[in-house]
């Protein structure tokens, strides 16, 4: 039997891979099983100086993802001796990664793509794990897809369950049980669940806390800090389009069409008669410095380098927005946020290149192990790493 802690991108993958191969799996999940498409109620964001977004429920933060799929950190991992060629190919197949048809590119996204091309920095179409046949074009990805068109780790959990995986929701792992250098199981409340193989995948904000409890060294936090800037553009309609359906890289930033409700309030405060449909906006995301800490509290600083990179990206995004029709006097920026916490149990610090900790039988398989800030969507990489860990355990 193998115990998997956490059912997000990493944990669900490990549970599925092991169950498909006939292993006995117990999946411990702190949150509930979502009952419908409204995953936004499971947001458990952390105000760490910069706001860090995540959801705590079965399926983890994948339930609010916008379906972006990039092979992040592939070269960095290869240079550490982890070749994920096979796992990435499998992950892309399992998640159904594809470029969406032109019919799913809305007018606002097209407008931004044309403006970026005019400025000499053309955008590419974003590979997505969205089933275009089921997408209703409602812009709701980050609140939980109402039509289940976007892959989430729940799909893997359900597949694992069909192959015998036992899922325990509302069961937070509170302590990893270890004796004589070997993992023995997990404590949740007064319950001891015993096994000599445990995969920790509680996400980069919780995994390090469990490791700290057994004196395994942890590492600083990165989150891919981002800012969304936007301006007044009557009837632009970006809010109902698929977010981030195109992207460009500029001066160390990733720039993508992205609507944020915060911008409506900011525009109204400044006297613009804006409703949701009147905002044209873009996200500027950076591979930030790992200036964060997870312990009893969680903090994340913005370094001068981060601030400089964000400003340069925001200036370029602002120019694209104006070229695309946003009123240049109206540009506003939402607060800094991060959606890719990682690195807190990274390879070389908490785990070896098999993603095993110094405790025999205790593995980590979530964003915590990433060797550096991905600077882009990490789910594909985390899924590939989950497959890699499962393969090691089965061997």
What is the nearest approach in angstroms of ligand FAD to the Cβ of residue 328? 29
CA distances from 219 to 53, 79, 104, 213, 339 (A): 20, 20, 40, 14, 18
Per-residue contact flags (x/-) with ligand FAD for residues 91 to 130, judged by CB under 6 A: ----------------------------------------
| 338 lines the binding site for ligand FAD (CB under 6 A) | no
Strands 51-52 and 46-47: antiparallel
- The whole-angstrom separation of Cα 48 and Cα 338 is 10
| Helices and strands in the chain, H and E counts | 9, 21
- The whole-angstrom separation of Cα 382 and Cα 357 is 17
Taking CB under 6 A as the criterion, the residue among 340, 343, 346, 388 binding ligand FAD is: 340
Residue nearest to ligand FAD (CB): 8
| 8 lines the binding site for ligand FAD (CB under 6 A) | yes
What is the nearest approach in angstroms of ligand FAD to the Cβ of residue 370? 9
- The whole-angstrom separation of Cα 150 and Cα 129 is 6
| 283 lines the binding site for ligand FAD (CB under 6 A) | no
| 238 lines the binding site for ligand FAD (CB under 6 A) | no
Count the residues of the shown chain that bind ligand FAD, applying the rule CB under 6 A: 39
| 387 lines the binding site for ligand FAD (CB under 6 A) | no
What is the nearest approach in angstroms of ligand FAD to the Cβ of residue 160? 14
Taking CB under 6 A as the criterion, the residue among 149, 314, 367, 393 binding ligand FAD is: 367
Strand-pair partners of 364: 200
Taking CB under 6 A as the criterion, the residue among 130, 379, 384, 389 binding ligand FAD is: 379
| 30 lines the binding site for ligand FAD (CB under 6 A) | yes
**Taking CB under 6 A as the criterion, which residues in 34-93 touch ligand FAD?**
53-54, 56-57, 60-62, 64-68
| 173 lines the binding site for ligand FAD (CB under 6 A) | yes
Taking CB under 6 A as the criterion, the residue among 378, 384, 387, 388 binding ligand FAD is: 378
Half-sphere exposure of 266 (CA within 13 A, CB side): 18
Alpha helix segments (H runs only) across 190-299: 207-212, 261-269
CA distances from 77 to 68, 80, 83, 319, 390 (A): 20, 5, 7, 35, 17
- The whole-angstrom separation of Cα 102 and Cα 274 is 28
- The whole-angstrom separation of Cα 30 and Cα 6 is 7
What is the nearest approach in angstroms of ligand FAD to the Cβ of residue 197? 16
Three-class secondary structure of residue 347 per DSSP: strand
* Residues engaged in binding ligand FAD (CB under 6 A): 5-11, 28-31, 53-54, 56-57, 60-62, 64-68, 142, 172-173, 201-204, 206, 339-340, 366-367, 377-379, 382
């Amino acid at each position: 039997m193998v115990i998997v802690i956490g059912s997000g991108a990493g944990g669900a993958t490990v549970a599925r891979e092991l169950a498909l191969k006939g292993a006995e799996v117990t999946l411990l999940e702190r949150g509930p099983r979502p009952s419908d498409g409204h995953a936004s109620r499971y947001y458990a964001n952390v105000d760490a100086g910069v706001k860090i977004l995540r959801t705590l429920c079965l399926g983890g933060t994948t339930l609010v993802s916008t379906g972006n799929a990039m092979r992040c950190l592939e070269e960095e991992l290869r240079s550490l001796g982890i070749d994920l060629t096979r796992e990435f190919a499998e992950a892309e197949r399992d998640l159904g990664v594809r470029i969406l048809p032109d019919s799913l590119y809305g007018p606002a996204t097209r407008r931004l793509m044309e403006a970026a091309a005019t400025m000499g920095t053309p955008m590419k179409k974003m590979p997505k794990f969205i089933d275009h046949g089921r997408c209703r074009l409602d812009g709701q990805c980050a609140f939980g897809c109402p039509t289940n068109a976007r892959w989430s780790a729940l799909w893997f959990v359900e597949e694992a369950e069909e192959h015998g995986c036992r899922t325990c929701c509302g069961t937070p792992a509170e302590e990893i049980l270890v004796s004589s250098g070997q993992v023995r199981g997990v404590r949740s409340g007064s319950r001891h669940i015993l096994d000599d193989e445990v995969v920790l995948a509680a996400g980069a904000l919780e995994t390090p806390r469990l490791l700290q409890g057994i004196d395994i060294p942890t590492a600083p936090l990165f989150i891919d800090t981002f800012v969304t800037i936007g301006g007044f553009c009557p009837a632009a309609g970006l809010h109902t389009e698929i977010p981030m359906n195109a992207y460009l890289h500029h001066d160390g930033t990733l720039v993508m069409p992205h609507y944020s409700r915060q911008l409506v309030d900011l525009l109204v405060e400044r006297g613009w008669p804006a409703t949701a449909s009147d905002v044209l906006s873009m996200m500027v995301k950076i591979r930030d410095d790992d200036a964060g800490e997870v312990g009893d509290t969680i903090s994340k600083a913005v370094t001068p380098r981060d601030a400089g990179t964000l400003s340069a990206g925001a200036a370029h995004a602002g120019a694209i927005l104006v070229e695309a029709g946003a009123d240049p006097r109206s540009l506003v920026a939402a607060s800094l946020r991060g959606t890719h916490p990682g690195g807190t149990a990274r390879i070389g610090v908490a785990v070896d290149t098999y993603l095993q900790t110094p405790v025999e039988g205790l593995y980590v398989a979530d964003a915590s192990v990433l060797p550096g800030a991905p600077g882009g969507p990490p789910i594909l990489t985390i899924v590939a790493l989950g497959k890699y860990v499962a393969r090691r355990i089965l061997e």
